[in-house]
Amino acid sequence: MDNEKLENQDGSAENPISQPSTKLPIQDGQIPQDSNAVETGSADALGLENIEVSFKEGNYAQFQALPMIISQKVTALTKTLIPLIEVALIELTGSSSQYNRNTALITPSFDQNGNMLVNFNLVYNVPGYIGVDFEYKDLQDDSSYIYNRITPAGIKITKCEIDTASGDITINGEF
């Protein structure tokens, strides 16, 4: 048994991990490590360096990039679009106390190419818009004003309308 070698799956031979004096296999539950790495204090279970994981096929790279993409989308919505909408509302009504934030429905999805899309439906309520004595052109101008104020954000706006029955201003879009 002293000269016995273990055969690996690839056919190569290797001495068993053993105590030098008794030549019995070590049974203490420890995981063998590269002695050079242990000396330098930089042992890593997968080796001495960080490994860059990649696959030939699939969407692993897109999945790995999701945290950054989501962060960019959240920032675009919270730091760009919503402030632009609210600036437009303040300019139209005269004060931030003249409108209420009612609904923010944000839905992430993916297109056929694996790109992340964010659809949103934002509803603000402006009690000053409730009534029947508005000129259609004035409402259209106010809606266009909001739309023109938010389009520099580079976000696709699919709806920007004012409902005089409820006072709701609805803004839908995607980016």
Each domain of the chain, given as residue ranges in start order, spans 1-51, 60-174
How many angstroms separate the CA atoms of 22 and 160, rounded?
A: 82
| Helices (H), ranges, 19-159 | 35-40, 60-75, 82-93, 136-150
Q: Which two tokens stand for residue 129?
A: 């818009």
pTM: 0.67
Q: Would you identify the CATH topology of the domain 60-174?
A: Threonyl-tRNA Synthetase; Chain A, domain 2 (3.30.980)
Q: What is the pLDDT along the chain (175 residues), one digit of tens a residue?
A: 445 555 555 555 555 555 566 666 555 555 555 555 555 555 555 555 667 788 888 878 888 888 898 999 999 999 999 999 999 999 999 999 999 999 999 999 888 877 889 999 999 999 999 988 889 999 999 999 999 999 887 789 999 999 999 999 999 999 8
CA 146 to chain centre: 27
Q: Could you give the CA distance from residue 147 to residue 142 in angstroms, rounded to a whole number?
A: 9
How far apart are alpha carbons 16 and 5 in whole angstroms? Answer: 7
Decide: residue 99, CB within 10 A, 0-12 exposed, 13-18 middle, 19+ buried. Answer: buried
Residue 7 backbone phi and psi in degrees, to 5: -100, 125
